[in-house]
């Protein structure tokens, strides 16, 4: 019903461009709305730009499993639709007195029937802060070597008032749930502090955490890409460094 209502609004107001958030609900809603509106959709974009020459929306998103970035345009149909990944951009500064216009859209509910029916929302029972809310994130990568390594990262995250995340490799190995994955094929975050433990720092992962205020990398390999990208790089075994950090903090 929501998608049909949005498509009716598009038909009424004829917007040139239409953006939705690439949240769990937004991904589904944007795809259905694009179908009903008869237009194209760039899903899960990480960057959007308006071309100055022709005014077209250029939306960039990961493709081929996050190994390439594709910039997509919608040349022949309108509106140009895009679902934009949350946290892709920093929050705009607050402008006092600024208000948006709320437009009431009248519709007949009988004209927008659906075979699906909402029953209830069941929140995930997983522990830890949501990644989008955490100011401190301690992330683990392939360098953990074993799923039990996340128990150590949990201790550090809890001590710092943060939460745990991961690169793609531990998620693919089943060491931690997908909702904790950072990167092009996972979540984009902007914490105040991001501690990467045993993460090499490939471009796919860094695209999801490069917006952090401070990045601390812990890695045995001094030539790992993340060691050059981090604000602070600690060369060493995370199983030595993290316990030393906990001891110092305590």
pTM higher than 0.85, yes or no?
no
CATH tag, 136-249: 3.40.50.1220
Q: Which of 130, 137, 154 shows the shortest CA–CA distance to 205?
A: 137
| Domain definitions of the chain by residue range | 2-86, 136-249
Q: Which residues of 195-212 are buried (b: 16+ CB within 10 A; e: fewer)?
A: bbbbbbbbebbbbbbebb
- Give the model confidence (pLDDT) of 22-81 as tens digits: 988 898 999 999 999 999 999 989 899 999 999 999 999 887 766 678 999 999 999 999
Is there a common fold for 2-86 and 136-249? yes
What proportion of the chain, given as a percentage, has pLDDT over 90? 64
Read off the pLDDT of each residue in 111-136 and give the average, rounded to a whole number.
Answer: 77
Question: How many Å apart are CA 28 and CA 114, to the nearest integer?
Answer: 14
To the nearest 10°, report the CA torsion of 135, 138, 141, 146: -140
Query: With 60 as the cut, is the pLDDT of residue 126 above it?
Result: no
> pLDDT band at 88, cuts 50/70/90?
confident
Peptide bond preceding 79 in cis form (omega within 30 of 0):
yes
Residues facing 72 on adjacent strands: 59
- Fold classified for 2-86: Rossmann fold (3.40.50)
pLDDT at 180 over 80: yes
Average pLDDT, the chain: 90
Which positions ≥6 away from 173 have C-beta within 8 Å?
A: 147
pLDDT band at 125 (very low <50, low <70, confident <90, very high): low
What confidence category does residue 127 fall into, taking pLDDT thresholds of 50, 70 and 90?
Answer: low
């Amino acid at each position: 019903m929501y998608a049909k209502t949005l498509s009716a609004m598009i038909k009424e107001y004829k917007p040139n461009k239409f953006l939705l958030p690439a949240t769990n609900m937004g991904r589904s809603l944007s795809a259905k709305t694009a179908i009903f509106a008869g237009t194209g959709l760039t899903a899960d974009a990480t960057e959007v730009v308006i071309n100055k020459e022709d005014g077209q929306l250029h939306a960039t998103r990961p493709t081929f499993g996050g190994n390439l970035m594709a910039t997509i345009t919608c040349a022949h149909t309108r509106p140009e639709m895009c679902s934009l990944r949350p946290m892709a951009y920093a929050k705009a500064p607050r402008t006092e007195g600024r208000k948006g216009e709320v437009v009431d859209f009248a519709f007949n509910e009988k004209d927008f029937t659906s075979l699906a029916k909402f029953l209830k929302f069941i929140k995930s029972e997983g522990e830890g802060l949501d990644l989008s809310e955490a100011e401190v994130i301690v992330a683990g990568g392939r360098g953990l070597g074993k799923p039990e390594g996340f128990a150590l990262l949990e201790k550090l995250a809890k001590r710092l008032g943060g939460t745990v995340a991961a690169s793609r490799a531990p998620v693919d190995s089943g060491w931690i749930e997908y909702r904790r994955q950072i990167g092009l094929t996972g979540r984009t975050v902007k914490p105040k502090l991001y501690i990467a433990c045993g993460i090499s720092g490939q471009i796919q992962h860094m695209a999801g955490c490069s917006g952090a205020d401070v990045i601390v990398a812990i890695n045995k390999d001094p030539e790992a890409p993340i060691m050059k990208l981090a604000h602070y790089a600690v060369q060493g075994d995370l199983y030595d460094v993290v316990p030393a950090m906990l001891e110092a903090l305590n």
